[in-house]
Amino acid sequence: VQDAQDFSDLIEATVASREFSDTTGIAAAIEFGVDSIQNNAFDGIREVIDISGDGEENSLGNGNPGNVPLLQAARDAAFSSG
C-alpha cells in the first residue's frame, strides 16, 4: 500500500509542475504532430495524428482561449499537408 501511495505522490508532483496543466491545446497538438511527421528521419507509409484530450480547446498559448476558427485552421492545414 505504501508503494502505491509513494507512486501516487510522485505522479501528483510531476503533474503539478507541468507548465500547461489544466489546459487543452488541441490546435497546438495538431501543429506539433504535423511538424513531427514532416521533420523526422522515418519514411512511413501512413501519417496519422491521434490526439486524446480531456476537454474542449481552451488554450492556444496565445491568450485567445477557445478559438474554434484557429483550431479548425490547424486541422485543415494538417489535412491538406497530407
Per-residue pLDDT tens over the stretch 2-16: 899 999 888 887 765
Per-residue pLDDT tens over the stretch 40-62: 998 888 989 998 876 777 765 55
Cα dihedral: 64, 66, 71, 72 (round 10): -120
The Cα 47–Cα 43 span in angstroms is: 9
pTM equals 0.63
